[in-house]
Structure 1
């Protein structure tokens, strides 16, 4: 499908950047990505079929890129905060409708959502069931992802993939790593693909000067751990800075991490995230971020350009799409996809 993308001057400027790390060092997305990066590995034919279904659906089918609609905020952020801007999404069927009409590869949401509409939609769009969440009724709040159902339950619903979050750096991270690794092993045994939300969470990671939750070095290391846990796709926030390990005085570093493998440019920072996904053998998708209203469309396009030019594999964007009128949500999802369909937007 042809792209009709029009870029703002700010986003157009991103097209001139050349990464300090050569694109020849990464495994770039493309139509034969599964054959190049998954077939030589240990994934079973059933898992490869599920990955093929995910990469083969929607407007980006066959490109090696993915556009996923995630809606788990009803648990993670409360329903009122999530669906108050557009109450039609209190009805979970509208989440599936938005993903379908928006041309997404898959829809990522909760056991509750899929449990109400699975029979009607399981054959229409790949399901990505989010199996754990950080619920907000525990007071005081804490950084703890807990299971809300089993992998077998997701499989029985017709899921193509399961997703989970680990809060790397939190007090509960060791349990979450073990729990999610075991869940991903079971998902692969049943033939499903796996997606990991590799988020960092620790109050110490945020200083008066910077929020290192979005540092390239910390998030990159989280990505590397996520691949090791068995993730087929890594979801990560777009990096905004670097030098978290040095500033916080923990972990291990090497000068080239900051001097020759990255700069402060967002595409270089994101390429460092891709490098940590085993040089792109496992796809990096960046999150679309919160909805700020006016300016969401240009912000989403910018994130997509940064991700694509860095060697990432797509966006997983929710609030910017579902917290606005339905038709505008479809338009925003299509605009993101247009970035990946536009051949003039190439690897940096």
Structure 2
């Protein structure tokens, strides 16, 4: 194992690198690997064209042929405003630099908006897989309204040469059922056209904050993942679980004591393992988000998230702000260090 990875993990190194999962054993999981498409996806109802596009995704960049993915997502210009996102590095107001960061950073794909990818599609769509995000939450409406609305069409993404479309559902929100219907129809159309699908399975409800913020609890995010895979998302994007017991704390929905007594523990790898289990035991890949940039600790935080995801049975990391809110050379370095976790054969599924 790279000494750099252990050094970045610091005092958490032994806990994360030596942990053995006693909750849901690895033997019950469909773990990532070079043969993942043949071993798992080819037995589904996905068409050969969808499998071909997934193969493009899984055979590009530094993680090609490993079964893992590293994706650069840059939709924050809409989701968080252009100024908030790109003021730290104004070069990324230009879509070409976004794509170049993904390419030079060795990513499997770049995920961004219809406008960003459309602006440079003829130059780059044949050189790196495109994932076109078709819905967004925008922050110019006053007062702020938190809803995901369609900004683009699946057919337009197909014409652009994208290998996949991405979408977000705010599970738990008052608008979630409309979003479910919209995304379900969009994903069916994408699969008909031969594109893969990636779903941001986020939670949004003020009631999910009580004694702590349960938007990242393993049980609630796990159920969001389960709903997302039911919509036939090929890849699930989820925030890394930081706690548990959302159902019991908020006192709603249905759960089982076994979720907390047998299927999870307080260890971050076990919490993430439950997220993966809700992705049909890994039949749909789980990629965890890299989170906001916090400055000097970004590299260590990203590597820690990657180790947790990989050892839990996840499929990779999708990290944006930590990479593009800094000089390009530094962003490339951060992306490469994340990828090094998945390339290190000594870091295994727990």
| Fold shared by both chains (TM-score > 0.5) | yes
Q: Distance in 2 between matches of 1:141 and 1:35?
A: 45
From 62, 82, 90, the equivalent of 2:93 is 90
Q: Runs ≥4 in structure 1, deviation > 6 angstroms?
A: none
Q: Pick the aligned partner of 2:297 from 291, 295, 298.
A: 295
SS of match in other structure, 1:39: helix
> What secondary structure, in the 3-state scheme, does the structure 2 residue paired with 1:70 have?
strand
Of 52, 56, 60, the residue aligned with 1:53 is 56
- Cross-structure match for 2:6: 7
Separation of aligned partners in 2, 1:10 and 1:167: 35
1:130 aligns to 2:129 (yes or no): no
Q: Which residue of 2 aligns with 1:180?
A: 183
Task: Write the deviation string for residues 177-213 of structure 1: whole angstroms up to 9, x where unpaired.
Answer: 0000000000000000000000000000011x21000
SS in 1 for 2:157: helix
Contact 2:5 2:341 in 1 (8 A): no
User: What SS does the corresponding residue of 2:314 show, helix, strand or coil?
Assistant: coil
Contact 1:29 1:312 in 2 (8 A): yes
Partner of residue 285, structure 1: 287
Residue aligned with 2:49, SS: helix
Per the TM alignment, residue 143 of structure 1 is displaced from its structure 2 partner at its CA by 2.1
Within 2, Cα distance between the matches of 1:239 and 1:68?
Answer: 19
1:111 and 2:110 are equivalent in the alignment: no
Cα pair distance change 1:252/1:68, threshold 3 Å: same
Deviates most, 138-147 or 265-274: 138-147
Deviation at 1:12, TM superposition (A): 1.9
Query: 1:3–1:334: structure 2 CA closer, same or farther, 3 Å change rule?
Result: farther
Name the SS for the 1:167 alignment partner: strand
Query: Are residue 23 (structure 1) and residue 26 (structure 2) matched?
Result: yes
* Inter-partner Cα distance in structure 1 for 2:269 and 2:145: 32
CA–CA distance in structure 1, aligned partners of residues 145 and 28 of structure 2 = 39
CA distance in 2, matches of 1:197, 1:152: 20
Task: State the alpha-carbon separation in 2 of the partners of residues 257 and 108 from structure 1.
Answer: 33
Counterpart CA distance in 1 for 2:224 and 2:11 is 30
Find the partner of 2:233 among 221, 227, 231: 231
Shift of 1:142: 2.1
Q: Is the CA contact 1:102–1:331 (under 8 Å) kept in the aligned structure 2?
A: yes
Does the Cα contact within 8 Å between 1:5 and 1:339 map onto a contact in 2? no
Separation (CA, whole Å) in 2 of partners of 1:321 and 1:311: 24
Among candidates 235, 259, 262, match of residue 260 of structure 1: 262
More helix by share: 2
After TM superposition, the score normalised by the length of structure 2 is: 0.97
